[in-house]
Structure 1
């Protein structure tokens, strides 16, 4: 895969979000200065990252139209600031049908669909594009000091037969994970008393027995730098309040799929031992 994004922080975050040990990722600031259209043919998919800057967005779109018209079926747009992006893409109707993702969860699904369908890729696609029925039986931990948030999320997730556990403090959440390390995903609220979400995630990542568990940070607001701060603390992904339930389900599909894919290679060995 090729990533093109003029913002170094966002470019690095994209690389980390995509890198899975299987996919080869190349990142550049400006695709026009580093890759021409024949060179782009070597990539299965090309992700263009767009930010708030109208100037940067316009320049990137102009480059795509002028140099990559034949590569449109392999293009993906990452648009964490959709309003700023839509203002510019409206000037380029030909690019209106390019698939775009507003967050890493959506991007994971688009990338799964774009990758070649060899055996490994098919397995990744099968696990990451899990439909709602396949969420049944998944274990999700919610760590949030507001019982109202816990109740509302639990009531929704349980309709998909998800096994929901909860804790109202970071310390209690860590203790629950130690007791049940087979949790598929943990939702960690950032604004909590005593131990906030950042510290909770850092401590989880420092504990080998539970460090593998995907952590989705739940932020009260999506301010510039919040995403990177969450990732630096150990978050696998993040979502802002008020929680968009469709987006949350998309994130759960991605991370539950990855958790199950990671667990599958160990199953034959365990059966043999038994």
Structure 2
């Protein structure tokens, strides 16, 4: 096997696909895994990587690739690493605190379980059991930071719900994460074509979901802050 000093990875928008690439690399190189350098459109991509590949936190040179990807201070293994993990968890909670998320799902059990988790992160959760009700809620509360849209719903499925949201100017900007029990090839693209910002399959991986929410809530907040910054600059 050829030896490498580093591997540069270009990450797309799907955390699941990013994780699959890393699984292949770790399987191929094992303990000889070279330094990993990430090129991604958003710094939260690294959080998605670590959420899906916890073993990477203890991989050789893990501090180096974290420093390069996020421009944070390198720390030593052992106690330093534990402190970093605690700081990361606290930062993750503060990043999500105060956010407003809508869950659209016809199964109240799913709504209850997701709400229980999200509220521990300080997220305000709204919910609807029908696509039409979800759209109405968004129109009433356009400051929602992100919406989780179940695909398999009666009357109006998730695809149609997302298409209508994207077709309504006042709420078209809201990040939509489609949640589906189907995992067939092409399902992700079908969700994206219907207007989804991202995709997650059932049973929901909570670490992945939280990572996705950090990405999209961060973008939603940046978008909301931009006009304010423009007004301040103009004054």
Shorter-chain TM-score above 0.5 = yes
Residues 1:258 and 2:202 are matched in the alignment: no
Contact 1:77-1:98 within 8 A present in 2 as well:
no
Q: Which residue does the alignment assign to 1:194?
A: 155
Cα displacement (A) at 1:183? 0.2
Aligned residue number for residue 17 of structure 2: 80
Cα separation, partners in 2 of 1:96 and 1:145, compared to 1, 3 Å: farther
Equivalent residue, structure 1, for 2:122: 161
Q: Tell me the residue number matched to 1:184.
A: 145
- 1:90–1:96 Cα contact (<8 Å) kept: no
1:138-157 equivalent positions in 2, closer than 5 A: 138-157=99-118
User: Would the aligned equivalents of 2:176 and 2:195 in 1 still touch at CA under 8 Å?
Assistant: yes
Q: Aligned partners of 2:165 and 2:45: how far apart in 1?
A: 25
TM-score w.r.t. structure 2 length? 0.69
Q: Report what 1:123 is aligned to.
A: none
Structure 1 counterpart SS, 2:110? helix
TM-score by length of 1: 0.60
Equivalent-residue separation in structure 2 for 1:243 and 1:160 (angstroms): 17
CA apart distance, 1:266: 1.3
In structure 1, the residue matched to 2:175 is 214
* Whole-Å separation in 1 of the counterparts to 2:133 and 2:221: 25
Q: Distance between the aligned counterparts of 1:134 and 1:83, measured in 2?
A: 26
* Partner residue in 1 for 2:76: none
**Unaligned ranges ≥5, structure 1:** 1-61, 118-129
Residues 141 and 183, structure 1, Cα contact 8 Å, conserved in 2: yes
Where structure 2 has 5 or more consecutive residues not aligned to the other structure, the ranges are 50-65, 72-90
Contact 2:103–2:148, Cα closer than 8 Å, also in 1 = yes
Distance 1:176 1:197 in 2: 15
Instruction: Indicate whether 1:134 and 2:95 are aligned.
Output: yes
Structure number with higher relative contact order (C-alpha < 8 Å, ≥ 6 residues apart): 2
Per-residue deviation at 1:264? 1.0
C-alpha spacing 1:87/1:158, structure 2 compared with 1 (3 Å):
closer
TM-aligned CA deviation for residue 88 of structure 1: 7.1
How many corresponding residue pairs?
194
